[in-house]
Structure 1
Amino acid sequence: MTFLSPERLWLLALVPILAGLYVALQWRRRHYAVRFTNLALLQQVAPRRPGWRRHVAAGLFLVMILLMMVGFARPADDVRVPRDRATIMVAVDVSLSMMARDVAPSRFDAAKSAAKQFIRDLPARFNVGVVAFAGSANLVAAPSDDRAAAIASIDQLVLAKRTAIGEAVFTSLQAVRSFDAQARQDPPPAHIVLLSDGDNTTGRSVQEAVTASRGADVPVSTIAFGTPYGTVTIEGETTSVSVNKETLRYLADNTEGHAYEAADAGQLNEVYADIGTSLGYTTEHRDVSARYVGIALLFALAAGGASLAWFSRLP
């Protein structure tokens, strides 16, 4: 817990002073009663009562004062507040190697299906954009809260030659920096989710992409689609297209993202949960002094009620 006005906490020093004064007055009262030599008259003017009752109301009153002083210092709790500009970029590999059918019905169809379901499941507070990459990378859906547009852009993807993973990251970062009028100076919190079978065959390197992502403070989580046994047939020639998990893991690990191996489309559903809440929320200090004032009021009512019930007077 923090205090928005901590300088006011010095008032707490008054509580032990008040408690000390109360103890001193009780000692003086008892000392005076002992000096009263007419015990018969003393019994009439000051009949014996259970001693602890006298202290209950006073104790409740002191606790009330303590809580009021704490509330006066404006205590604050950490509260998670949704970040409305939070953005997720989904980058989908559309290279010819994604035709391989070692993931049913194919790497490409599994990746598209998983990406669409992922977008549907994102909380409404997230904006989402889509990048497609093969020999180059293209923004096919600008980041927004329009889920239908993002999903429609995935349905229209077509396969092409080569794979430019580095370019996909750079294009995604550019989309984040162009999110709104203030994004250049104050970019939104963002996360890139990249679906691929892992080979970077053209364009800027994965190392350059790592450097750019780290500089922008944008993690990249990767989902590797494929197995070591994938093949594709292009123009009558069958080629082995083993998934390159190492490249994707390197990209994720060095940008503080997460690396996944998707043997089927359903594993993508785990990605959002592991991205965590740091993207969707920020932590703020919220004044909770009313909480302490409310509790102090309860103690005040308890002190007053006890005093009225036992002594027919307020403390």
Structure 2
Amino acid sequence: MEFVNKEYFLLLLLLIPYLIWYLLHRKTSEPTMRMSDTHAYQYAPKSLRVRLMWLPMLLRIIVFVLVVVILARPQTHSNWGSRTVEGIDIMLAMDVSTSMLAEDLKPNRIEAAKSVASEFISGRPDDNIGLTIFAGEAFTQCPMTTDHTSLINLLQNVRTDIAARGLIEDGTAIGMGLANAVSRLKDSKTKSKVVILLTDGSNNRGDISPLTAANIAKSLGIRVYTIAIGSKTMAPYPMQVAGTIQYVNMRADVDVKTLSEIASTADGQFYRATNTAELKKIYKDIDKLEKTKMDVKKFSKRYDVYQPFALAALIVFLLEILLRLTVFRRIP
């Protein structure tokens, strides 16, 4: 814990004259009674109330100290820290074309892929992981990071309607998606660099062929794991017709041959996922990849933590008033 305004602690020096005044004033302020002889009261036991007459004064001091602490603005510790962890650099390349709305996986392909990928990310806290999304074009949704909370939030915000709304060209640019992910890994210093490419279609867009991108990955020491998602026959696909949703059966269009060649070229492995359970198993298999050491820097923000001190000061202040007006009340 740190204090922004440490100079306020100098106010604690005011307690010294207050204690001196209290000890001197107490002898003259307490009520007295004249008696001819006090010998009989010399060994009389003192009541608990008499023994605790100093308690209100102590509570006032505690309130003052807590107020000074609040004025000093306590904050949580905040600094850059470096540590060495075991991890690898991973780029997820995910197809977001409109065909990913097919519902052969529940609730649909894109949501199943996002859910399983989120579990995979959460299970690898020490890895640098980034996200590339592609349809007819490709771009980086999140660069590699160990801030997996932000990465998962960005992943959950991925939608297939960016192509339907014309924000990017629809289609399946596998080569562009892979090339984008590879470009994020090319300067990595780690021993293990991996791209996990997931798609449900065949390459039909883009200026870079999938095998060209795979060869680039191979030359940079990047392994590529490819996942073909979707059923092997027909899949229900939602279409808007006259303002309503109508389902049509869509034939599987995934290019298994090209995805296998990509994985073979880039020293990876090809997988086929026709349901969510198989997709989870695939990510568990990939989770067994070798790990390598890397340095990670973590940053924590500063947060004011005066609230507990303010609450304690209020409680002690009210307690002091209550005791002074009841148990320790003095009758002039």
Task: Flag the 1:266–1:145 CA change in 2: closer, same or farther, 3 A.
Answer: farther
Q: Secondary structure of the residue that 2:115 maps to in structure 1?
A: helix
TM-score using structure 2 length: 0.53
Is 1:84–1:125's contact at 8 Å kept on the other side of the alignment?
A: yes
1:172 is aligned, of 181, 206, 211, to 181
Please list every run of 5 or more consecutive structure 1 residues that lacks an aligned counterpart in the other structure.
Answer: 1-81, 283-315
2:263 is aligned, of 252, 265, 269, to 252
Match of 1:270 in 2: 281
Is 1:226–1:242's contact at 8 Å kept on the other side of the alignment?
A: yes
Match of 1:139 in 2: 140
Equivalent positions of 1:69-84 (< 5 A) are none
**4+ aligned runs moved over 6 Å, structure 1:** none
Distance 2:106 2:179 in 1: 30
Deviations 1:149-176 (A, max 9, x none): 1111111112122111111111111111
Task: Flag the 1:235–1:171 CA change in 2: closer, same or farther, 3 A.
Answer: same
Match of 2:200 in 1: 197
Match of 2:128 in 1: 127
Match of 1:226 in 2: 230
> Once the 2 structures are TM-superposed, how far is the Cα of residue 274 of structure 1 from its aligned partner?
3.5
> Once the 2 structures are TM-superposed, how far is the Cα of residue 265 of structure 1 from its aligned partner?
2.5
Match of 1:74 in 2: none
Q: Secondary structure of the residue that 2:267 maps to in structure 1?
A: coil
Task: Give the letter aligned to residue 257 of structure 1.
Answer: G
Task: Give the letter aligned to residue 252 of structure 2.
Answer: S
Distance 1:272 1:240 in 2: 26
Match of 1:88 in 2: 90
2:171 is aligned, of 162, 179, 187, to 162
Q: Secondary structure of the residue that 1:230 maps to in structure 2?
A: strand
Match of 2:30 in 1: none
Structure ranking higher in helix proportion:
1
1:242 paired with 2:252, answer yes
1:208 is aligned, of 185, 209, 212, to 212
Distance 1:242 1:101 in 2: 12
> Once the 2 structures are TM-superposed, how far is the Cα of residue 264 of structure 1 from its aligned partner?
2.4
Query: How many pairs does the alignment contain?
Result: 194
Task: Give the letter aligned to residue 229 of structure 1.
Answer: M
Q: Secondary structure of the residue that 1:219 maps to in structure 2?
A: strand
Distance 2:150 2:209 in 1: 30
Distance 2:238 2:278 in 1: 27
Task: Give the letter aligned to residue 265 of structure 2.
Answer: N
Is 1:219–1:257's contact at 8 Å kept on the other side of the alignment?
A: yes
Is 1:257–1:275's contact at 8 Å kept on the other side of the alignment?
A: no
Distance 2:87 2:129 in 1: 10
Distance 1:147 1:98 in 2: 24
Task: Give the letter aligned to residue 258 of structure 2.
Answer: T
Task: Give the letter aligned to residue 216 of structure 2.
Answer: A
> Once the 2 structures are TM-superposed, how far is the Cα of residue 139 of structure 1 from its aligned partner?
0.7
1:281 paired with 2:292, answer yes
> Once the 2 structures are TM-superposed, how far is the Cα of residue 116 of structure 1 from its aligned partner?
0.9
Match of 2:75 in 1: none
Is 2:96–2:134's contact at 8 Å kept on the other side of the alignment?
A: yes
2:109 is aligned, of 107, 110, 116, to 107
Task: Flag the 1:270–1:232 CA change in 2: closer, same or farther, 3 A.
Answer: closer
TM-score using structure 1 length: 0.56
Task: Give the letter aligned to residue 118 of structure 2.
Answer: K
Distance 1:174 1:187 in 2: 15
Task: Flag the 1:272–1:158 CA change in 2: closer, same or farther, 3 A.
Answer: closer
Distance 2:285 2:106 in 1: 25
Distance 1:166 1:222 in 2: 12
> Once the 2 structures are TM-superposed, how far is the Cα of residue 281 of structure 1 from its aligned partner?
2.9
Percent identity over paired residues: 28
> Once the 2 structures are TM-superposed, how far is the Cα of residue 198 of structure 1 from its aligned partner?
3.0
> Once the 2 structures are TM-superposed, how far is the Cα of residue 269 of structure 1 from its aligned partner?
3.6
Distance 2:87 2:271 in 1: 26
Q: Calculate the aligned-residue CA RMSD, in Å.
A: 2.5
Deviations 1:259-292 (A, max 9, x none): 111122333443455447664137xxxxxxxxxx
> Once the 2 structures are TM-superposed, how far is the Cα of residue 239 of structure 1 from its aligned partner?
6.7
Match of 1:46 in 2: none
